[in-house]
Amino acid sequence: MKINSQDMTEQHSNVQKPWWDSPLWGDNSFREKMITLFKREPIPDNSIFLHNRALTELENIAPSMEGLDEAKFGNPEFLLLLKIKSSFLKGTGEYTGLREPNEMVHAALEAKDSFLKIEETEFQFRSYNQQDYYAEVFKLLEQNMTKVSFEQKVQVLAEETMQKLKTTEGIEAIRSYSQELKRLSYEHQLGLRLLYLFKRSRLADFSILQKISNLVTQFAKEDLHDSKQILVQVKLNYNMFEKLGEIVGLTGKQNHPEAYTKIVQHIALMEKYKESYIQFQRLLSYIKQWQKSYHTVKTLREEYPAKVYKQPKTFREKPPGLAIYEKYQPWLSLSRYHDNALIQ
């Protein structure tokens, strides 16, 4: 009996396919559906390039971070310094309104040697021309001009004054005076402003800065966790602190012994851990650089998740330096790019 081709076709079509290769709905089989379901899209080449470049940057920065990371940054007193700095920076609670006065007092103590030299010159050399020079300098300070303009005008004024003087000592005094003004301008962020505020207040006795500096140095040798001893000394010398408070803007509700105690405690901690804090700032600067590249890596990994995209091996690598970043992330606000407090 002959079987024609049509019958063979019909018989072949009637053969049942395996369940996994049969259409569940539409024309696609279960196998095809599963392949489609689990098929991951490729990540664009440009995104892979940006990710890998940022990852390489992390690899380059991480060794510097590791080299600066030291156990001393976990010292309880050093952590106290960081917490106090953070409190001044935020300016909340007991530290409300204390940030700028704290910076001003710190700057005044850093610049005290220049202030004392200026005061000594004004006291010793008091001819008519010299006093006129001091008065003209004060007028320049009132104008709040740029450092460059101030330096140029002071130089011209000094040369004009020296031409009028007859003694070598008098000439050298004016030259030295102008040099101290220049040093104040360039070495101390708030130096000229403080000089103006001192002169405007007619507080001629810069020696209070030396006395406060001596107290700070004394406290820097002691345990600074407990500020009670500082408070005792502040109360004993409160008239001196009040005079300084008038100059740095510590008035009203902020003008009380506890406020000065917080400022002195902070400055004493800064003196005690000066070198460590400078190194810590260097570490934070590297972490800030690292953070920018990490943001790129993190963003791209979130944009192309493994469930949807076929990730290359580099997308699954742990970013080098991540542990250090997570360790110091709470203190990044203290980076010198955000912190105006002096660290000189």
Q: What is the structure's pLDDT at 316?
A: 95
Once rounded to an integer, what is the mean pLDDT over residues 178-194? 91
**Tokens at residue 8, please?**
């063979």
Nearest to 264 by CA among 217, 221, 223: 217
Exposed (0-12), middle (13-18) or buried (19+): which is 171, by Cβ within 10 Å?
Answer: middle
User: 97: phi > 0 → left, psi -120 to 50 → alpha, else beta; which?
Assistant: left
Q: Which amino acid is at 50?
A: L
Q: What is the mean pLDDT of residues 256-284?
A: 97
pTM: 0.82
Mean pLDDT value across the chain: 88
**pLDDT score recorded for residue 38:** 61
- What is the model's pLDDT at position 102? 96
| Choice among 6-15, 141-150, 200-209 with the minimum mean pLDDT | 6-15
Measured CA angle at 307 (ends 302, 309), to 5 deg: 70
pLDDT in tens, 315-328: 999 999 999 999 99
Percent above pLDDT 70 for the chain: 85
Return the minimum-mean-pLDDT range out of 2-16, 140-154, 295-309. 2-16
The full DSSP string for 142-192 is: HTT--HHHHHHHHHHHHHHHHHH--SHHHHHHHHHHHHHHHHHHHH-TTHH
The yes-or-no verdict on residue 333 having pLDDT over 60 is yes
Q: What pLDDT, in 10s, does the model give residues 214-224?
A: 999 999 999 99
Region 60-66 average pLDDT: 98
Whole-number Å distance between alpha carbons of 44 and 49:
9
Q: How far is Cα 344 from Cα 238, in angstroms, rounded to an integer?
A: 26
Residue with tokens 């301008």: 185
